[in-house]
């Protein structure tokens, strides 16, 4: 047994909430929201009196109040017992549902059953207390977030010194997250505590069953530990389940058709100026893309030079050039990078639970999957507690997202048919959907809390951003938050009843001025119908870079930027690109293979990320630019986008270390081109216009 795998008991014993991991032989099942509903009565705890395990099933005789009950279920289909027996790495604890419960004793039990020694609730609490005394703060109105494979839990001691554990979205609003702890960190910390605990009690048994005292829906009343394998398994009580009106299968298609029709009828009536403006620029850009294509063939016969040792851009001169390019100076603030959904959603939920006055959320997608519904329930709860919650959705992006289903979505999940109606029902949330004239969209993602704290980047509200994809958000404080709040207010007004008039009124009114006066220069950059700042700024950065360019993006379909990257590499700049090979855009992702081949041909180092990376980030000689914009025509010229940029050395170094250096190491560098088919080039031509 390894030291890591031995520590199954304390790892499990800290839980009074749900944690689950099932075998690879079955689809991963993510847990239903843990916690009691308002109308749920407090049931008596279950106390095990006998427990056995056979080769395939588990059995437990227990008391429920004054009644004796008999229950059990199958474990063999959910736990990779052969891998564990062969020394495979443990990644539990596992979860087994109590599949049945009956009044009568079993007619017969299998002869191969093995009993477990029962330990009481007091033993459970004693071990749990030892573990958490070492890592949980006391008397500070704070706790820790413990990350398991499928969920995040908030653990804390209350003012009376009593221990509590709950899913993070149910954490008390007056408690802050002091730190995040991973499962492996907990394992390393708890091993000596486990050994001391067992030795003091003279416990030598290899099979143990704990009574936890947990009760209610989704509770974990029993824990089985086999110290020989080793393995830890929770038995979970079933919950009542929650169902939404999913409507017919055609519902999202009908909603899509209705939204598109509305965007081009009533939407244009109330927004005539902006709608015509968008049509003009979409048309002109399409014509320009067609008649003036950018070609890399002019470099075909030129050798690729070695990487130059020239110094990078002068930061001061470059920022002055950006002032000219954008027509304004930088804002200010502080940046904190949140890499992947575990980090971002922990901070986002913590901020939402602690909000004191307002939450302004602007997102391209608010899905109807299980995780998005959890976030929606949290926002609804906060609105009913008096917080002003406004949610601005891109209509088409949100509706279409309900059609697509992620492979890891629990099989029994039935999401609401209308995200907007779900958010508005039984809540004080004010929801608006941005229209999509000419199929253009609002691709901006911002969340602003109390007008003092903001998040922006690439993540939408959907389960793939929490569990499945590699992505990046940035936490912001300082005057840059006022800028993001102002952009939200303009977009909010434009999506309202008065449309263009409401937008004009916000433009003519005072700008927000609530954020703290702190920080270093941070520059907001935008894509608007008439101004392609994000494209122009990054193109200019490529042209001015002398030493290195690092780019990570999921979608490389803009030929003009590929041309600029090739030119930079051929003047000696170290150009490196990180991309996923397979994205969420179906056959259009063959564009990435062709783009990778073209970059490789011109000396650009291409790294293939193992999985779906949705990060949109770049560094050009010490200038970082990150946000919502893809490297495609729609993000650079058509959709609404928001990036933030800075030359602040510490911030840029942090981004380089935590994103680029980490992902260069985790990716596979392309050594030879991908095979190409004639259909790839046909798809690439179409993709340049569609994506």
Q: Find the CATH number of the domain harbouring 368.
A: 3.30.870.10
The CA–CA distances, whole Å, from 683 to 96, 417, 584, 679, 680 equal 47, 33, 15, 6, 5
Dist CA 608 CA 631 (whole Å): 16
For residue 442, is it within any domain? Answer: yes
Boundary of a domain, candidates 170, 204, 236: 236
Q: Could you tell me if 418 and 351 lie in one domain?
A: yes
Span 414-421, mean pLDDT?
A: 92
pLDDT tens sequence across 344-358: 999 999 999 999 999
Strand segments, DSSP code E, in 184-275 are 207-211, 222-226, 231-236
**What strands, in cross-sheet order, belong to the sheet with 176-182?**
163-167, 152-157, 142-147, 176-182
Q: Could you tell me if 542 and 462 lie in one domain?
A: no
Q: Could you tell me if 109 and 130 lie in one domain?
A: yes
How much of the chain, in percent, has pLDDT values that exceed 90?
55
Dist CA 230 CA 397 (whole Å): 46
| Distance spanning both ends of the chain, measured CA to CA | 52
How many domains would you assign to the chain? 3
pLDDT tens sequence across 226-238: 777 767 777 877 7
Top pLDDT among 690 and 31 is at: 690
Q: What is the pLDDT of residue 439?
A: 86
For residue 312, is it within any domain? Answer: no
Q: What are phi and psi of 505, to 5 degrees?
A: -60, -40
DSSP per position, 30-80: PPPPPS--TT---PPPEEEEEEEE-SSEEEEEEEETTEEEEEEEE-TTTS-
Residue 384: pLDDT band (50, 70, 90) is very high
Per the rule left: phi > 0, alpha: psi between -120 and 50, beta: everything else, 47 is beta
DSSP label of 464: I
Q: What is the pLDDT of residue 7?
A: 28
Q: Could you tell me if 11 and 39 lie in one domain?
A: yes
The CA–CA distances, whole Å, from 32 to 14, 242, 345, 412, 529 equal 20, 9, 17, 10, 42
Span 524-543, mean pLDDT?
A: 96
The CA–CA distances, whole Å, from 640 to 330, 394, 532 equal 20, 10, 10
The burial class, CB within 10 Å (0-12 / 13-18 / 19+), for 482 is buried
For residue 161, is it within any domain? Answer: yes
The CA–CA distances, whole Å, from 657 to 15, 361, 608, 662, 665 equal 34, 29, 18, 6, 11
Q: Nearest-CA neighbor of 551 among 563, 533, 537, 565?
A: 565
Q: Nearest-CA neighbor of 438 among 324, 271, 305?
A: 271
Q: What is the pLDDT of residue 453?
A: 98
Q: Could you tell me if 218 and 274 lie in one domain?
A: no
Q: Could you tell me if 220 and 276 lie in one domain?
A: no
Q: Which long-range contacts (CB under 8 A, 24 or more apart) does 83-91 make?
A: 84/229, 84/230, 84/231, 85/229, 89/4, 89/5, 90/4, 90/5, 90/8, 90/230, 90/231, 91/21, 91/149
Q: What is the pLDDT of residue 283?
A: 81
Q: What is the pLDDT of residue 98?
A: 86
Three state DSSP letters for 402-439:
CCCCCCCCCCCCCCCCCHHHHHHCCCCCEEEEECCHHH
Dist CA 51 CA 274 (whole Å): 69
Which residue do the tokens 């999509």 mark? 436
Residue 637, pLDDT > 60, answer: yes
Element (H, E) at 161: none
Q: Could you tell me if 160 and 74 lie in one domain?
A: yes
Boundary of a domain, candidates 515, 546, 572: 515
Span 451-480, mean pLDDT?
A: 97
Q: What is the pLDDT of residue 38?
A: 33
Do residues 336 and 646 lie in contact, with contact meaning Cβ atoms separated by under 8 Å?
no
Span 24-30, mean pLDDT?
A: 35
For residue 130, is it within any domain? Answer: yes
Q: What is the pLDDT of residue 152?
A: 81
The CA–CA distances, whole Å, from 493 to 431, 447, 586, 667 equal 12, 17, 35, 43
Element (H, E) at 263: helix 251-263
Both tokens of 160, joined, read 């009376």
For residue 323, is it within any domain? Answer: no
Which residue do the tokens 């893809």 mark? 630
pLDDT tens sequence across 307-336: 998 999 999 999 999 999 999 999 999 999
Residue 250, pLDDT > 80, answer: no
For residue 209, is it within any domain? Answer: yes
pLDDT tens sequence across 511-531: 999 999 999 999 999 999 889
pLDDT tens sequence across 139-191: 889 999 988 666 788 888 888 888 887 778 888 999 999 998 876 677 677 76
Q: Could you tell me if 543 and 503 lie in one domain?
A: no
Residues spanned by the domain of 540:
526-690
Q: What is the pLDDT of residue 21?
A: 31
**What strands, in cross-sheet order, belong to the sheet with 222-226?**
94-97, 231-236, 222-226, 207-211, 117-119
Q: Could you tell me if 556 and 439 lie in one domain?
A: no
Residue 295: pLDDT band (50, 70, 90) is low
Residue 608, pLDDT > 50, answer: yes
The CA–CA distances, whole Å, from 623 to 272, 314, 317, 328 equal 39, 10, 12, 17
Q: Could you tell me if 206 and 85 lie in one domain?
A: yes
pLDDT tens sequence across 1-23: 333 332 222 223 332 222 333 33
The CA–CA distances, whole Å, from 33 to 18, 157, 350, 427, 648 equal 9, 22, 17, 19, 41
Per the rule left: phi > 0, alpha: psi between -120 and 50, beta: everything else, 327 is left
Span 268-289, mean pLDDT?
A: 81
Sign of CA dihedral 98, 100, 103, 105: negative
The burial class, CB within 10 Å (0-12 / 13-18 / 19+), for 129 is middle
Q: What is the pLDDT of residue 167?
A: 79
Q: What is the pLDDT of residue 210?
A: 85
Top pLDDT among 261 and 241 is at: 261
Both tokens of 372, joined, read 């998005």
Residue 271, pLDDT > 70, answer: yes
- Give exposure, 325-342, as e/b (b: 16+ Cβ within 10 Å): ebeeebbbbbbebbbbbb
Span 192-216, mean pLDDT?
A: 85
Element (H, E) at 541: helix 533-544
Element (H, E) at 304: none
**Best-predicted range by mean pLDDT among 268-277, 357-366, 596-605?**
357-366
Strand partners, 20: none
Q: Could you tell me if 404 and 544 lie in one domain?
A: no
Q: What is the pLDDT of residue 565?
A: 96
Residue-averaged pLDDT of the chain: 85
For residue 257, is it within any domain? Answer: yes
Element (H, E) at 112: none
Dist CA 12 CA 93 (whole Å): 6
- Lowest model confidence (mean pLDDT) among 35-39, 234-238, 368-372, 376-380: 35-39
Residue 256, pLDDT > 60, answer: yes
- Lowest model confidence (mean pLDDT) among 106-115, 629-638, 675-684: 675-684
Residue 124: pLDDT band (50, 70, 90) is confident
Span 630-637, mean pLDDT?
A: 92
Both tokens of 639, joined, read 């959709």
The residues, ordered by sequence, that sit 6+ positions from 631 with a Cβ below 8 Å of its Cβ are 551, 553, 555, 556, 557, 558, 561, 616
The residues, ordered by sequence, that sit 6+ positions from 299 with a Cβ below 8 Å of its Cβ are 566, 567, 570, 602
Residue 407, pLDDT > 70, answer: yes
Span 196-220, mean pLDDT?
A: 84
Q: Could you tell me if 357 and 471 lie in one domain?
A: yes
Boundary of a domain, candidates 482, 515, 548: 515
- Lowest model confidence (mean pLDDT) among 232-236, 425-429, 472-476: 232-236
For residue 398, is it within any domain? Answer: yes
């Amino acid at each position: 047994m390894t030291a890591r795998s031995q520590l199954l008991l304390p790892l499990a014993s800290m839980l009074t909430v749900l944690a689950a991991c099932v075998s690879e032989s079955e689809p991963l099942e993510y847990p239903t929201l843990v916690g009691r509903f308002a109308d749920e009565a407090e049931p008596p705890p279950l106390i095990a009196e006998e427990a056995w395990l056979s080769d395939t099933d588990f059995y437990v005789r227990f008391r429920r109040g004054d009644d004796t009950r008999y229950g059990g279920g199958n474990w063999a289909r959910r736990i990779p017992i052969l891998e564990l027996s062969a020394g495979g790495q443990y990644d539990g604890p596992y979860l087994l549902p109590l599949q049945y419960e009956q009044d009568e004793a079993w007619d017969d039990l299998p002869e191969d059953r093995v009993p477990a020694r029962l330990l009481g609730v007091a033993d459970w609490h004693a071990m749990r207390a030892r573990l958490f005394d070492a890592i949980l703060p006391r008397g500070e109105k704070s706790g820790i977030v413990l990350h398991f494979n499928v969920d995040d839990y908030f653990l804390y001691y209350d003012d009376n010194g009593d221990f509590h554990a709950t899913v993070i979205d149910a954490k008390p609003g007056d408690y802050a997250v002091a730190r995040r702890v991973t499962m492996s960190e907990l394992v390393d910390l708890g091993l000596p505590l486990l050994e001391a605990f067992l030795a003091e009690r003279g416990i030598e048994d290899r099979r143990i069953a704990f009574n936890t005292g947990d009760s209610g829906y989704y509770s974990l009343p029993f824990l089985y530990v086999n110290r020989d394998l080793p393995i830890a398994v929770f038995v979970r009580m079933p919950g009542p389940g929650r169902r939404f009106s999913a409507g017919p299968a055609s519902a999202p298609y009908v909603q899509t058709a209705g939204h598109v029709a509305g965007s081009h009828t009533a939407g244009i009536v109330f927004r005539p100026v902006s709608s015509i403006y968008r049509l003009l620029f979409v048309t002109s850009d399409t014509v320009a893309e067609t008649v003036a294509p950018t070609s890399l063939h002019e470099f075909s016969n030129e050798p690729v030079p070695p990487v130059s040792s020239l110094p990078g851009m002068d930061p001061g001169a470059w920022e002055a050039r950006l002032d000219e390019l954008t027509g304004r100076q930088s804002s200010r603030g502080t940046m904190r990078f949140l890499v992947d959904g575990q980090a971002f959603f922990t901070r986002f939920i913590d901020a939402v639970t602690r909000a004191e006055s307002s939450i302004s959320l602007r997102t391209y997608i608010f899905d109807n999957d299980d995780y998005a519904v959890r976030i929606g329930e949290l926002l609804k709860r906060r609105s009913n507690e008096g917080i002003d919650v406004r949610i601005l959705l891109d209509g088409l992006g949100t509706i279409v997202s309900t059609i697509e289903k992620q492979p890891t979505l629990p099989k029994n999940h039935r999401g609401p048919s209308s995200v907007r109606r779900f958010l508005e029902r039984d809540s004080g949330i004010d929801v608006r959907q941005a229209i999509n004239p000419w199929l253009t969209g609002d691709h901006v993602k911002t969340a602003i809390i109390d007008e003092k704290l903001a998040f922006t980047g690439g993540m939408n509200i959907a389960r793939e951003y929490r569990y499945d994809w590699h992505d990046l958000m940035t936490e912001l404080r300082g005057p840059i938050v006022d800028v993001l709040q102002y952009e939200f207010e303009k977009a909010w007004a434009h999506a309202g009843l008065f449309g263009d008039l409401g937008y004009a009124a916000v433009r003519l009114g005072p700008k927000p001025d609530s954020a703290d006066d702190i920080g270093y220069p941070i520059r907001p950059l935008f894509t608007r119908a008439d101004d392609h700042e994000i494209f122009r700024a990054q193109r200019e950065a490529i042209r001015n870079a002398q030493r290195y360019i690092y780019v990570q993006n999921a979608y490389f379909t803009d030929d003009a930027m590929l041309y600029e990257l090739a030119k930079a590499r051929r003047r000696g700049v170290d150009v490196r690109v990180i991309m996923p090979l397979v994205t969420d855009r179906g056959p259009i992702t063959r564009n990435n293979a062709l783009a990778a081949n073209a970059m490789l041909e011109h000396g650009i180092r291409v790294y293939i990320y193992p999985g779906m990376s949705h990060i949109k980030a770049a560094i050009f000689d010490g200038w970082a630019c990150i946000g919502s914009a893809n490297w495609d025509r729609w993000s650079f010229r058509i959709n609404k986008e928001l990036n933030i940029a800075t030359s602040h050395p510490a911030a840029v170094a942090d981004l380089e270390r935590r994103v680029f250096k980490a992902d260069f190491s985790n990716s596979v560098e392309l050594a030879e081109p991908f095979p190409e088919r004639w259909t790839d080039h046909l798809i690439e031509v179409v993709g340049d216009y569609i994506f």
